[in-house]
Amino acid sequence: MGRRPLRGGGLSAPGGAGAAGFADLGVPEPVTAVLRRLGLTRPTPVQAAVLPDALAGRDVLGRAPTGTGKTLAFAIPMVARLTTGHALAGRPRGLVITPTRELADQVGDVLADLGAARGLRTLVLIGGEKPARQRRLLAAPADIVVATPGRALQHLREGRMHLSDVAVAVVDEADELADRGFLPELDRILDRLPREAQLMAFSATLGDRVAPLLARLREPARHEVGGAGAGGANAAGAVTRMRHLLLPVADDAAADRLLPWIAARAGRTVLFVSGRHRVGEVAATLAAAGVACRTIHGDRGQAARRAALADFAGGACPVLVATDVAARGLDIGGLDLVVHVDPAADPATYVHRSGRTARSGDAGTVATIARARQLDAARRVLAAAGVAPETLAAPPGSPALAEALGARRPPGPRRRPGAAPRGTPRGNPRGGRRRDGRRG
């Protein structure tokens, strides 16, 4: 399957207090050569911790903050192992299961770039795309398949894909798979793997809800980077590089007045909302103030979602309104503000939404808009996430809001070509003097 070039932060940036280089961790020279061509010479801490065991073929359980390089931590050993041998049609040798389409695309990009140089073909199978097209793609050999659970299971049931040749399997963002109710589907997929297949599970948080999956790992090498904890903000790790703000407002109307000022700032901004219907409401509020945005949620087709993310990542439109579908898998460089337009319902959601900023060692700001009725609950969630936010009660147009978030006056709705300016009397569209000499 042809893959588009990497956008934004598709590959984790090099750096971090890891080993001197990938070769020191046992990465084969042909793979390190590919990494060098991609500009990657030093492993991040999670890569330095995971790679020796993963390259040795051990099952791995990895927990690390978002944006720290987990994808390469499993992509490198997968590519290294699959460099020898070849795949048959419909029989991948590597499998990655992710909870969301966006994350599947991101992981697929990384594996495609890393594997293509070693002659490996990567195929992404996700919902929102026509199954018939995917069936045609499966008719050709693909070494690695990256898939969401439902679509993977569909092709398995139809007999279009078989997992008996899989040597390495990865479950990415295990806690999110559990939260979305995908564990039964995941079980049915993993049941089809060969007993000898290497299994790796990675996540930003780990807890009791993923215990059934963890039980499948055989004496795994366990690696935790960036702080311990099953669900708190330490699981995000990068929270220490974020500035956390709580913006109390009286009610929905006050929130609607505040939001366009924040969204009109310079720089990329992601606005998280509680549900699909809220995406449309917030987009309409911004449009009424003259602020353009792109939107993604579960009901949008995959082509529309990719186009929205491409516009956002490429700078064509710096504001993205999203449901939690984007809390995993959105990896965009230079994203320095995340706004919880609707406060997160739980600490894990706060962590993963907030983790879209402050990636790969950068700093970032996270703001939560809380109506009076939401304020106590929002404070409890942030406290449970290990965050002590600054409270900023700053109205639209205030210097404090501008200083903290770069807020600025929204441009206002665009006038139709030829429309009269505001305040122009209807009887005299051009203003000026009327024929009787009086001012119009």
Q: What are the tens digits of pLDDT across the range 201-248?
A: 988 777 777 888 888 999 999 998 764 333 333 334 456 678 999 999
Say what the pLDDT of residue 66 is.
63
* Superfamily of domain covering 235-405: P-loop containing nucleotide triphosphate hydrolases (3.40.50.300)
Which residues are CB-contacts of 234 (< 8 A; sequence separation ≥ 6)? 226, 227, 228, 386
Say what the pLDDT of residue 395 is.
94
Phi and psi torsions of 209, nearest 5°: -65, -15
Contact between 60 and 83 under an 8 Å Cβ cutoff? The reply is no
Work out the average pLDDT over 9-35: 69
What DSSP string runs through 174-237?
Answer: HHHHHHTT-HHHHHHHHTTS-TT-EEEEEES---GGGHHHHTTSSSPEEEE-S---SSSGGGGS
| Neighbour-count burial for 335-374, b at 16+ CB within 10 Å, e otherwise | bbbbbbbbbbeebbbbbbbbbbbbbbebebbbbbbbbeeb
Structure tokens at 167: 């040597």
Structure tokens at 120: 């490996």
Long-range contact list for 178-184, CB < 8 A, 24+ apart?
178/209, 178/210, 178/213, 179/209, 179/348, 180/99, 182/99, 182/149, 182/150, 183/210, 183/212, 183/213
What fold, for 23-230?
Rossmann fold (3.40.50)
- Per-residue pLDDT band for 439 (boundaries 50, 70, 90) equals very low
Averaged pLDDT of the chain: 82
More confident of the two residues 173 and 144: 144
Per-residue pLDDT reduced to its tens digit, 393-433: 999 999 999 999 999 999 987 665 555 444 434 444 334 43
**Sole residue written with tokens 């929130």:** 255
Say what the pLDDT of residue 106 is.
79
C-alpha–C-alpha distance, residues 327 and 331, integer Å: 10
Contact between 306 and 105 under an 8 Å Cβ cutoff? The reply is yes
C-alpha–C-alpha distance, residues 26 and 344, integer Å: 41
**In the chain, ranges of CATH 3.40.50.300 domains:** 23-230, 235-405
Say what the pLDDT of residue 309 is.
82
Work out the average pLDDT over 63-70: 74
Say what the pLDDT of residue 47 is.
92
- Model confidence at 3: pLDDT above 60: no
Say what the pLDDT of residue 7 is.
29
Say what the pLDDT of residue 230 is.
34
Q: In what order do the strands lie in the sheet with 144-147?
A: 122-125, 144-147, 94-97, 168-172, 198-203, 60-63, 221-224
- Per-residue pLDDT band for 17 (boundaries 50, 70, 90) equals very low
**Sole residue written with tokens 């109710």:** 181
**Sole residue written with tokens 């956002």:** 312
- Model confidence at 434: pLDDT above 60: no
Say what the pLDDT of residue 302 is.
65
- Model confidence at 292: pLDDT above 50: yes
Burial class of residue 282 in the structure, from the number of CB atoms within 10 Å of its CB (0-12 exposed, 13-18 middle, 19+ buried) = buried
Say what the pLDDT of residue 127 is.
84
Q: How far apart are the first and last CA of the chain?
A: 65
Say what the pLDDT of residue 369 is.
97
